[in-house]
A = this chain, B = another copy of it.
């Protein structure tokens, strides 16, 4: 069992993530609050909405604001901010004031449809309760203030009564999972084992009975309710719900040493990793149900790949990383944080993607021009400041604020470096320091002091496993280099972050004949605004010749490749094909769509 070192014990140093955390604190957290204010999400906590007034609360609004509250908690735990703290306190006061005497708390089902409480499994009440609980725990940890935490304990006690003791709700288990993992956090915060048991109860009961009507638009697979959790061996259905559930399952596997649940989690992770994950660590292949589909079905232009889904995948992988030493977990986390998650927020920190496609081909938009309202549904091509369903923006803010959670781990014998983020950490008397220009520079310096007999193990990313160096003796085990250095010795690690061609499994049709370019953990893409539209005209040579180039506008390091470009033909078909040399500029995928609407492609024709 490898314990993650929590972000509270980690100080992020100057570099890539410090910059993102600064933007998150200076700009994004306020931008999200402003848009949530505009749309009435904060006002709703006054429970004063009436028929005929604008901004009718939605049944998932509680969760949007809850994630904002949680984000602030993580930010102020590291950097006190009286304004943000007072803004949270305001909401907490309203929560306490408006909570039901029985403990129930949900704006929509108190203000708008009080007779519908716990009547429809798809209406997100337990999901909202989970997010509020996570926020309450975070705020207590950050500030020591327990008002919010007490409110949520009271609410969870009520939920335990309704769902477990009285069994009186119209459904048995959460429609949108999330509360499972929140209950484990609440247990760790309060020490109250009933909360852990309630989490296990929801997981045990899931998939054991029919909970949705036959004529509902989605089915049991959508809800991960097609089988008992321990029998689920593939990733199915709504991908955000799925990975929140899988995270809860991994928590319960750990807490109860539940081999069957662990086995399910491992199989599910393998299914995602081997069959259903875009190269950006985006998941949820189809917008129909925002769901996992079948293996190898990875349509770049139609990819759903919600920002929240990549975040949930990190939650899942991080929990498995605690249960089993395997560098694939850290690899997936790394791929997600630099790509499928980070693309969810603009370079200026103010706008957001819900979906993160891997290709934009503007010429095909509006293809069904001759029928009304049947246009193929392409993902939007520019980020927006707020959505009707605005789950992703505050999910990014809380994620970036707590990214320190994913860097280090420790068990009885070893201290683990999972991620390469410039930082200092102190835990269990141990002092860790790492410094680098990662991800653009692969030279990393790590120093561990007061190891007290423990070894130091460092994840060697898959992209560099055949080409890396370490300034001390080491032994590779499960993708980690176990280093034989003296306590306090400065260790130099050099990873190969040069651009590389990546190929998809030959069963992935959409990527056949194509390659993606990765440099270190960063997936690169080409944009029309740099290279002209119709990016499929480029072909990447067998052997890459490249230079890195700083992009001042985007704050990125771009890759200029000596590629080839197909000569345009007038005819649709021809018996030969000519290419001429042509440079192509690639930018990090996370930075796409920051310079106006444009074609974009991650996968490019490969020689």
Contact = CB atoms under 8 A, between A and B. Distances in A.
Interface of A: 216-219, 221-222, 236-238, 273-275, 277, 279, 285-286, 288-289, 291-297, 361, 363-364, 366-374, 376, 463, 500-509, 512-514, 516, 534, 536-537, 566, 568-577, 605-606
Contacts of A513: 512-514, 605-606
Contact of A571 (B364, B505, B509, B576): B505
A373 B217 CA distance: 8
Given A236-B370, A286-B368, A297-B367, 18 more contacts: A219-B370, A219-B371, A222-B370, A275-B572, A289-B374, A293-B367, A293-B370, A294-B369, A296-B363, A361-B509, A503-B573, A503-B577, A505-B569, A505-B571, A506-B577, A512-B536, A512-B605, A513-B605
A553 B606 CA distance: 38
B506 A289 contact: no
A501 B573 CA distance: 10
A84 to B, nearest CB: 39
A217 B573 contact: no
A563 to B, nearest CB: 13
A510 to B, nearest CB: 9
Nearest to A568: B506
A576 B503 contact: yes
B573 A502 contact: yes
The 9 closest A-B pairs by CB, nearest first: A513-B513, A506-B566, A222-B370, A293-B367, A221-B370, A289-B371, A288-B368, A237-B370, A503-B577
24 contacts: A222-B371, A238-B370, A273-B572, A274-B572, A279-B573, A288-B368, A289-B368, A289-B370, A293-B368, A293-B369, A294-B363, A294-B366, A297-B367, A361-B509, A364-B509, A503-B577, A505-B573, A505-B574, A506-B534, A506-B536, A506-B569, A507-B534, A507-B537, A516-B573
A201 B537 CA distance: 46
A289 B371 CA distance: 6
A54 to B, nearest CB: 29
Contacts of A506: 534, 536-537, 566, 568-569, 577
A572 B501 CA distance: 14
A288 B370 CA distance: 8
A571 B286 CA distance: 21
B292 A370 contact: yes
A425 B371 CA distance: 46
A318 to B, nearest CB: 20
Contacts of A369: 221, 236, 293-294
A217 B372 contact: yes
A77 to B, nearest CB: 36
Nearest to A372: B219
Contacts of A217: 371-374
A364 B502 CA distance: 23
Most buried by B among A236, A273, A366, A370: A370
B279 A504 contact: no
A572 B504 contact: yes
B221 A274 contact: no
A86 to B, nearest CB: 43
A294 B370 contact: no
Contact of A575 (B364, B370, B501, B568): B501
A546 to B, nearest CB: 15
Contact of A570 (B221, B274, B293, B371): B274
B291 A572 contact: no
A300 to B, nearest CB: 9
Contacts of A516: 573
A495 to B, nearest CB: 14
Contacts of A218: 370-372
B367 A286 contact: yes
Contacts of A514: 512-513
Contacts of A501: 575
A569 B502 CA distance: 13
